[in-house]
Amino acid sequence: MSKNKDTELADKLAEVGRRVGQAITDAMERIRPAIDAVAEAANRPEVRAVIDRAEKLVARRPCLCFCPRAHPADHDICEPFDAVVTGQLSSELLGDLDVPLCAPCAAARAARKFAS
């Protein structure tokens, strides 16, 4: 008797397990197109280009040149997110500081230094 009950319980558990497993499988099948779409989108060249650009932008250093003061003659040449060299910023408050500068700013500052 009790043996039968155990078998019954085992069968019920197995059935519940099978149903849960099926439900999970069904759910996965239902959201799979969405997952595939995202994975596919991430591999598309235009999407990859946007991701690459965002990553580069994050990795880049901003130009911290005070253009209007450092080189007022050509203050619009700055590439604000493309600092490639470290320059000196002379500040009355903080003294000489090392600051990242973009190439055009560094050149303009050097030119102004030579000119003065």
Binding interface with Zn ion (CB under 5 A): 63, 65, 67, 78, 102, 105
Q: How far is the CB of 102 from Zn ion (least distance, A)?
A: 4
Are the CB atoms for 7 and 14 separated by under 8 Å? no
3-state DSSP: the chain helix, strand, coil percent, rounded to 5? 70, 15, 15
Shorter beta-carbon distance to Zn ion: residue 89 or 102: 102
Residue 84 identity = V
Residues recorded for the chain: 116
Q: How far is the CB of 59 from Zn ion (least distance, A)?
A: 17
Q: How far is the CB of 100 from Zn ion (least distance, A)?
A: 9
Shorter beta-carbon distance to Zn ion: residue 31 or 110: 110
Shorter beta-carbon distance to Zn ion: residue 67 or 89: 67
Residue 115 identity = A
Give the span between the Cα atoms of 44 and 9, in whole angstroms.
51
